[in-house]
């Protein structure tokens, strides 16, 4: 049971390039989310999904796209990278609250992205 995995661990992009951050979980969790972490700002929600085929925007969605074709995978796409997207990105998964009293989110190890 690997939990939540993210690839790559590090990435450097040039302004305008595109890339996809990968996230996968093997816990059969319905909910998955993407957060970004910037110094002094905690983590902020980018996009989330409550199940396969369903996605929605979080607090800071601009410049990012997501899709959820399977329960296991939730990739985050940067279509045209900007220096403002330099950050550490975390993927998380959880079961919905209706499945039990615990709604703990499990986090991946993160992807450190630098946009030059």
Partner 1 sequence: AQSVTQLDSHVSVSEGTPVLLRCNYSSSYSPSLFWYVQHPNKGLQLLLKYTSAATLVKGINGFEAEFKKSETSFHLTKPSAHMSDAAEYFCVVSDQTGANNLFFGTGTRLTVIP
Residues that bind partner 1 (CB under 8 A): 31, 33, 35, 40-45, 48-50, 56, 58, 90, 92, 94, 96-97, 101-105, 107-110
User: Which is closer to partner 1, CB of 13 or CB of 35?
Assistant: 35
Smallest gap from Cβ 12 to partner 1, in A, equals 17
User: Which is closer to partner 1, CB of 13 or CB of 108?
Assistant: 108
Smallest gap from Cβ 62 to partner 1, in A, equals 17
Could you tell me whether strands 106-107 and 43-51 are parallel, antiparallel, or unpaired per DSSP bridges? unpaired
Could you tell me whether strands 76-78 and 19-25 are parallel, antiparallel, or unpaired per DSSP bridges? antiparallel
The answer to whether 104 and 94 have CB atoms below 8 angstroms apart is yes
User: Which is closer to partner 1, CB of 62 or CB of 101?
Assistant: 101
Tell me, what DSSP letter sits at residue 53?
T
User: Which is closer to partner 1, CB of 19 or CB of 50?
Assistant: 50
Torsion angle, alpha carbons of 33, 46, 48, 20, to 10: -70
- For residues 43 and 36, what is the distance between their CA atoms, to the nearest angstrom? 5
Smallest gap from Cβ 103 to partner 1, in A, equals 5
């Amino acid at each position: 049971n690997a939990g939540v995995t993210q690839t790559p661990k590090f990435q450097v992009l040039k302004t305008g390039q595109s890339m996809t951050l990968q996230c996968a979980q093997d816990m059969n969790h319905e909910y998955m989310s993407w957060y970004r972490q910037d110094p002094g700002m905690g983590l902020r929600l980018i996009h989330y999904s409550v199940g396969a085929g369903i996605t929605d925007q979080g607090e800071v969605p601009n410049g990012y796209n997501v899709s959820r074709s399977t329960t296991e995978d939730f990739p985050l796409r940067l279509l045209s990278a900007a220096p403002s997207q330099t950050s550490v990105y975390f993927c998380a998964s959880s079961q919905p609250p209706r499945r039990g009293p615990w709604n703990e989110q499990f986090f991946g190890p993160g992807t450190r992205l630098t946009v030059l």
